[in-house]
Amino acid sequence: MGKTPDGRLSHPYIEGVNAFINSARAVVDLSGNIPHPCIHCVNCYRQSSQIVRIHLLHRGIMQSYINWYNHGEPRVLNENIHDNEMSDGDHMNGIDALIDDRIRGEPRNATEDEEVRHFDKLEEDAKRELYPGYTDYSILKFVIEMLNVKVMTNLSNKGLDMMLELLTKVLPKGNLVPRSTYEAKKILRDLGMSYEHIDACKNDCTLIWKENENLDKCPVCEVPRYKDTRTQGKKIPHKVLRYFPLTPRLRRLYMSGQRTKDIRWYIDKRVDDGIMRHPADCEEWKEFDLQHLDFALEPRNEPYFILSLLIPGPHQPGNDIDIYLKPLVDELKELWEEGVETYDAYSKEHFQMRATLLWTIHDYPGFGNVSRWRTKGYHSCYTCNDQPYS
């Protein structure tokens, strides 16, 4: 039953796990638990047969545990108990690795002209020298670091524009330094780090989006979409939601080899011994895995804090926040039901990435806005519901 991670979803391996569980029933204790031979617990702990089955499918069995002597089989002498561990090897500089992983992680079937152009341009920018004869920085690496400086120092667009203009003058002729912040962001956009502008109703009625995209007024309250409808050229909307698509950011996590290795920590190195070290140790995560076994079998599922929305002010939307959450909800539905093909830079393979929302975190007023539960007055406790102890 010692299989590689690639084979744990195969029918023969699943049948092998079932056969093991049936065999192990001979050594259940009074609580109905059996020794746990997954690669983390290594027979040091006991769990129910159902938990053992999930972990064996999820993590894999100890590679040295060929003779099941802790589960009823007679012990065989001189067995090989040495496990081989993978060498980490040398890692490239973070930005170089990002560029390299991004290129290798392009969809295998990128047949559309636009995708091919993006791929070709990205690969070209990753190789082009910042100026002739200077090999330490490519134009793509330079842009990433400059925009990182902008964010870390809270530098304005005008300030960055002035820096870029100065650099174009002092660096040797033929340099490829972008002339403005706008040009720099255009280069970075091919890495999938951009965001979407979605116009919203001034009164938070709806997003002017998808089927309503071409409307000039709110389809609910009929308030004008733009501040001044009489101006020529580009019109300024009353409110704009900035939406950071979730899918490309999740895919980006897996396109970094070192980060993808870290993502697997809770599967490859965590010990499930009843101590809370990781969200996977909590009962909600375990219960979710029991209810959605096919989802739980994919070990590359990991919690992250990712900015998804910048909701326009000046006032909070209150209970109308659901209007602004709609793009995120639609994308989460798609990631749950269908998923998206993603490249794993650590195992160097493509897989179907899926996602689910397991928890939300709020202050108490925010909890009321998102859940529509009362957070004020006599019936404000969501635990007691409509039957408070008082």
Spell out the domain ranges in the chain: 5-85+265-296, 94-189, 196-249+304-353
Q: Per residue in 328-363, pLDDT tens?
A: 999 999 999 989 888 887 787 888 888 888 888 888
User: Which tokens hold the place of 272?
Assistant: 């499930």
Q: Is a pLDDT exceeding 70 seen at residue 93?
A: no
DSSP code for 108: T
Which residue type occupies 360?
T
Convert the pLDDT of each residue in 245-254 to its tens digit: 888 888 877 7
Instruction: State the distance between the two ends of the chain, measured CA to CA, in whole angstroms.
Output: 57
Between the ranges 13-27, 249-263, 299-313, where is the mean pLDDT highest? 13-27
Whether pLDDT at 110 is above 70: no
Reading the block at residue 105, the tokens are: 């992680």
- The widest CA-to-CA distance across the chain, in whole angstroms, is 89
Q: pTM for this structure?
A: 0.58
The set of residues, in sequence order, having a beta carbon less than 8 Å from that of 15 and lying 6+ positions away, is: none
Q: Which of 263, 95, 257, 262 is closest to 191 using CA atoms?
A: 95
Say if residue 372's pLDDT is above 60: yes
The pLDDT value recorded for residue 258 is: 74
pLDDT for position 205: 92
pLDDT at 204: 92
